[in-house]
Amino acid sequence: MQLRSVLIGSAMLSLLAGCAGGPTETASKESVEPTAVSYQGTLPCRNCDGIGLDVEMMGEEADAVQDRTFTLTASYMNHPQTPPDEDYAGNWEVLTGTPSDPDAKVYELTPDGEGQTYYFLRLDERTLELIDPERRRFENGEMLRLKRQ
């Protein structure tokens, strides 16, 4: 069952292939730069040594959704077909609750244009865990964690 969970998690990332974010706008604002928090980790990969995942979330939870943005890069390590890195950008929201914990904090990362929406359970101030769209944890959750940098 754990292998199946790993494969499902990897499949979620694979669905993102071929979707590239459009050009980003660099508008100058007189306001203070948004707060940026970075997380990194390596997810399991059936055909390679792992999928390096880098997520940067800009903005604060209290900000309006359009002011909360993210970038996500997925890199396949030692994959036999050497696929290019997958880069996504979009907005993130804060959701409350999972089936097992009604007070849990979940970050929903929705890419602009095409792409898979990611769901990360906030385990603590320094750790996020990839979860499924129903906000359920995978059996091998410890293998799906990103650490704050």
Q: Has residue 55 been placed in a domain?
A: yes
Is 22 inside any structural domain? Answer: no
Q: Please write down the long-range contacts of 61-66, taking CB distance under 8 Å and 24 or more positions apart.
A: 61/94, 63/34, 65/91, 65/93, 66/91
> Residue 65's CB: how many other CB atoms inside 10 A?
12
In the chain, which stretches have pLDDT less than 70? 1-34
pLDDT value at position 115?
Answer: 86
Residue 57 forms part of a structural domain: yes
23 assigned to some structural domain: no
With 0-12 CB in 10 A as exposed, 13-18 as middle and 19+ as buried, what is 149?
exposed
Tell how strand 118-124 and strand 127-131 pair up. antiparallel
The answer to whether residue 108 is domain-embedded is: yes
Residue 25 lies in a domain: no
Give the model's pLDDT for residue 17: 38
Which tens digits make up the pLDDT trace of 61-104? 999 989 999 999 999 999 999 999 999 999 999 999 999 999 99
Q: Is residue 54 part of a domain?
A: yes
Question: Where residue 88 sits, what CATH number does that domain have?
Answer: 2.40.128.640
Could you tell me the pTM of the whole model? 0.76
The total number of structural domains in the chain stands at 1
The domain containing residue 141 runs over which residues?
A: 2-17+35-148
- pLDDT reported for residue 114: 85
